[in-house]
Structure 1
């Protein structure tokens, strides 16, 4: 619907520990800020969000650059002429939605991929990393979202893996290695038994060990990819404190995160990617959150379209007042926390939020794909067993996944087999399925959804993306569902197919099907949904209804501007509340 001390001793003793943190009270050196010619800043003049005072850049020469970097895969351009610059001691956010090119750029910077065009530069000199080890030896290290170390090895062994200190006859000097590991971790306030296997430690401590390893390789740039995704609050604070100490030593941080609060707390500069291109570079202090979100999504805040960019109608879909589905307190550690929502027959409820906000996880929790730690899903008065896809399907809940190729279609099967796959038990008698019954179902949905195929026997892998998506929708409609969960239903399909899918969603809602819609395209959510439940960091922060369902209100809510309290933690968002826009 459309709407208007001992550290110095250790450093001398071992080449593996070569950096010291500044002593408290040490005067800060002044450095020129290359971003503002003629001005001088001190490391104490700006407050590091992580708790240390650092300069916005400790030297004028960039420590790492990408100059006109492009990368293509099978003719598809993933990076298009990227310029990216990081200064010593700088915390630089790399932002962009899913598919923007962040991961590809990180892999180019760290030697996983080689650029097709352009070059990298280290301290102003051109450099080529043929493999990740080359990047590490040059001082460019990465801390991944999932700890990329060896669980069965000890903390010390992981830190010095491949660089173990050796003594007489070339044997590993374990005593020295343990001492060096303790010194290194102790410098950053991490107290742990370095002889313990890594797997016996909490994820937060494992993350600190990965960071210590990166620093011990004489890192000058540390790239952090979603570093707090698996951390508890106290562990996050420890990470931020360590980041502050690293920056004070002149180490640059490239920070990738979908959490806006973290970005504005940790970083001072930001580069925004969209569709493989740089669309913005600047100081975060001068960029309001809503503007940052609009640049990521490609939607102008000042020129929000009032008219229809989609094929949804202007009519409201809701026909009944009694909810068909009520989800309460849906929670899964580090993914969603207390999410609640209701949906009525004939209603389209949109889930708004950035990548990582918890939208897909909410759908997976409702549909049984993801086991919940707590919470309940009730449909027509009956509680659905958590973590069971068959139970959800029997209850009438079906989901169209975001990645249709990996999680949806079966490429080796025909169009017919893909459509009837889920409905085979219903179409079978005594374990045998009649081709006649299958053909009847397939014929109905191929005509209704206008699936373009030479015949039902054509391999589904030979169809266009849009027609593959229609086959997936047909599979679930053949189950006569009560609730349809759509995760990015128009992603990766052409304009014509997109319009057809949008019109189909509209039609299904008018027929009484309850639909939950997740889309990264704001206009699709705004024009297709009757209500929009906005998530941020795995929690429901507000609900937009009536005239609030427009792009400006949605952008504000996603960005976190305003002062709304969190809703949905205890009760589902079934009715409109006097909730302000979220903080």
Structure 2
């Protein structure tokens, strides 16, 4: 590559005219990227846009066919990742590249272990502590622990520390939040803030638009290997702007359901088409209950490990059930296999498209008709009965009819594969359709067409159950959302009452809320009252947790339920939210509310304590101090 003419002092890297072709696929076509020191730069685009390829070119994983890159004012020529690391460029991928059998300390200094000469472990240990202190997490990583035993967030911290140990100036984060919980994402963003303040240039590759707005200063957007929008100030953009650049058209609201805005519906009429009560399938499903009506889209929300997928598998007969009842159209059923579930009119699309949904060696048509073969009871294949319906479905999903003859499903893109899988189940005209992460790994244009199909299916009377880790998707599509945590259903709320923050807090695993629960336990016991954690929005609230001491007065709240403030026994305190205790006019109750704010200023709701106003009232300042100490802890 050749040096460019001039580089502005604020620029640390400028790439222009980058081309890369793999076999007959042109991954990059004249791509450009300009980065500054001390910024977080978002690199966005739909699947296949070229984001990861461009990142790998800059970090030495891929050698471009042509193009120019200037780094810190000098022409950059890298033929390997080691060349890039020595130049000061590192990449932190979603799947970390650590040595699982080595310790944290050995992984941080892995590039140095292969160099000649003796290394002082004491000196390395001191350097590691200094690096972690720079990141504000010197106590989070045990340096002698093997990496295989670390969480995803801890492994990512090791990768970042390894990059800093090499004095890197540019760090690329490729989908770093994909495997992290919301609290871990918050912690990662705190680290990225520190790196930005120290003058590092950071590239943030992500599909999650809400995270792009939360952490980036500028964004560059790619489409079909080209840069279509370069170095735009994030603050000047809306989500619609990003979507329009990414897909090349204005999609409007991809979640729009009807012309009329839906009101919160607490008591939707009609019996449940599918009702699940007390479902248990150890070890992941402990006690799950929910119901979904015909014509309704029900969302199952929660974090990875909450038991959502396992509950769906138990309903579909893929996982043995220990307890619980399943009722379909008012009649109890107990599927012991997928064939029995299909016979009852239940369709299920699992999460893993590659291993659970397609047979690569079968043609597209054979993959499309797989579920039909499982349900067909007769001589031959019975394909002819489904061919007309298959043709109509292919057209509705925007799939070319001639591609049915393809001999291998893998010739289709991920989005097209997913459309075929959805069409497979729609051919059977199920009464209930359960979808587990149906838009995982597909671009926003394909997502939009999948959403339209799901809304159309529901409008025809099918009961749709949608499992998704994308909270924006759940809120946009579902009529109601049942939240699962630690294998239990803990809330059942209309989606109109929720937003991403409320849903995230509801979904937080109860086993990971030890400090919060411990605080509620402590202040409840210390003051013989009812301690609670609520989210308040106008005249409504959602109770996240409630702990009541023996004999304490009830504030009229219930964990996991939404209610109007006027329906509680402490409405005056909830409306006024003063610094001190507020006494109710009609009942002998006094309540103090303390806001929960993270160090980054994020709103986590309110901690409250209700006591009998005829007894000694505790110090409101003491309660506030205890809550603030909780929020300031690492």
Instruction: Name the TM-score, length of structure 2 as normaliser.
Output: 0.56
Gaps of 5+ in 1: 1-33, 36-58, 331-337, 429-433
- Once residues 130 and 50 of structure 2 are traced to their aligned partners in structure 1, the CA distance between those partners, rounded to angstroms, is 38
Aligned to 1:150: 99
Choose from 213, 216, 219 the match for 2:168.
219
Counterpart of 2:88 in structure 1 is: 139
Mapped partners of 2:244, 2:491: distance in 1: 24
Q: CA deviation at 1:62?
A: 1.7
Q: 1:185 aligns with which of 132, 135, 138?
A: 132
Structure 1 residue 152: Cα displacement: 1.2
Q: Are 1:250 and 2:199 matched, yes or no?
A: yes
User: How far apart are 1:436 and its partner, in Å?
Assistant: 2.5
Match of 2:380 among 436, 448, 451: 436
Query: Aligned-pair distance for 1:387?
Result: 13
Conserved in 1, the CA contact under 8 Å of 2:541 and 2:564? no
CA contact (8 A) 2:541 2:563 kept: no
**1:48-59 residue pairs with structure 2 within 5 A?**
none
The answer to whether the 8 A contact 1:400-1:489 is kept is no
Measured at CA, do residues 306 and 525 of structure 1 come closer, stay the same or move farther in structure 2, by a change above 3 Å?
Answer: farther
Question: Partners of 1:534 and 1:210 in 2: how far apart?
Answer: 36
CA distance in 2, matches of 1:322, 1:240: 45
Give the match for residue 50 of structure 2: 101
Cα separation, 2, equivalents of 1:103 and 1:73 = 14
Q: CA deviation at 1:346?
A: 3.5
Cα distance in 1 between the residues matched to 2:440 and 2:94: 27
Distance (whole Å) between structure 2 residues aligned to residue 339 and residue 283 of structure 1: 45
Cα distance in structure 2, aligned partners of 1:86 and 1:308: 31
| Mapped partners of 1:234, 1:358: distance in 2 | 11
Q: 1:296 — aligned with what?
A: 242
SS of equivalent to 1:215: helix
Mapped to 2, the partners of 1:568 and 1:299 lie a distance apart of 39
C-alpha spacing 1:238/1:160, structure 2 compared with 1 (3 Å): same
1:159 to 79, 94, 108: 108
Query: What residue in structure 2 maps to residue 82 of structure 1?
Result: 31
Deviation at 1:295, TM superposition (A): 2.2
Residue of structure 2 in register with 1:7 after alignment: none
Query: Per the alignment, do residues 240 and 427 of structure 1 end up closer, same or farther by CA in structure 2, a change over 3 Å counting?
Result: closer
How far the C-alpha of 1:214 sits from its partner, in A, is 0.5
- Change beyond 3 A, Cα 1:425–1:190: same
- Counterparts of 1:250 and 1:493, CA distance in 2: 33
Q: Secondary structure at the match of 1:145?
A: coil
- Contact kept in structure 2, 1:398 and 1:476, CA below 8 Å: yes
* Whole-angstrom distance in 2 between the partners of 1:274 and 1:541: 39
- Tell me the secondary structure at the aligned position of residue 512 of structure 1: coil
1:283 aligns with 2:216: no
Q: Which residue of 1 aligns with 2:282?
A: none
How far the C-alpha of 1:161 sits from its partner, in A, is 1.4
Q: TM-score, normalised by structure 1?
A: 0.60
What's the offset of the Cα at 1:478?
5.6
Tell me: CA distance 1:251–1:494, structure 2 relative to 1, closer, same or farther (3 Å): closer
| 1:391-419 CA-partner distances (Å, limit 9, x unpaired) | 86576442456886665332322466435
1:366-410 CA-to-partner distances (Å, cap 9, x unmatched) read 643999xxxx99663789999997786576442456886665332
Q: CA deviation at 1:149?
A: 0.7
> 1:152-183 deviations in whole A, cap 9, x for unaligned?
1012211121313978xx45544444444344
Task: With a CA cutoff of 8 Å and minimum separation of 6, indicate the structure with the bigger relative contact order.
Answer: 1
2:313 matched residue in structure 1: 368
1:126 aligns with 2:75: yes
**1:210-359 matched pairs, under 5 angstroms:** 210-231=159-180, 239-258=188-207, 262-276=211-225, 277-279=227-229, 281-284=231-234, 286-287=235-236, 291-298=237-244, 321-325=270-274, 343-347=292-296
Alpha-carbon deviations, 1:451-500, whole Å to 9, x = none?
887899974649988997775445424655222246359979999xx99x
Shift in Å, 1:215: 0.7
Map of 1:12 onto structure 2: none
Q: CA RMSD in A?
A: 6.2
- SS of the residue corresponding to residue 83 of structure 1 reads strand
* Distance change >3 Å, CA 490–CA 114, structure 1 → 2: closer
The CA deviation at 1:72 is 4.2
**Cα distance change, pair 325–193 in 1 and its aligned pair in 2 (3 A):** same
User: 2:40 is matched with which residue?
Assistant: 91
Q: Matches of 2:87 and 2:564 in 1, distance apart?
A: 55
| Whole-angstrom distance in 1 between the partners of 2:31 and 2:466 | 33
Quickly say closer, same or farther: Cα 1:395–1:208, change in 2 above 3 A.
farther
Q: 2-side partners of 1:257 and 1:518: how far apart?
A: 21
Contact 2:12 2:37 in 1 (8 A): yes
Matches of 1:491 and 1:166 in 2, distance apart? 42
**Do 1:93 and 1:254's aligned partners in 2 also have CA atoms closer than 8 Å?**
yes
Cα distance between partner residues in 2 of 1:178 and 1:263: 35
- Match of 2:11, SS state, is coil
The more displaced of 483-492 and 133-142 is 483-492
Q: Deviations over 1:116-152 (max 9, x none)?
A: 4432221132223222222111111112233321121
Query: What's the offset of the Cα at 1:251?
Result: 1.8
Map residues 565-576 of structure 1 onto 2, 5 A cutoff: none
Contact 1:453–1:463 (Cα < 8 Å) also in 2: no
Q: 2:357 aligns with which of 381, 389, 408?
A: 408
Are the equivalent residues in 2 in contact too, given 1:107–1:113 (CA < 8 A)?
yes
Q: Quick one: distance in 1 between partners of 2:442 and 2:92? A: 30
Q: 1:254 Cα shift?
A: 1.8
Q: How far did 1:541 drift?
A: 12
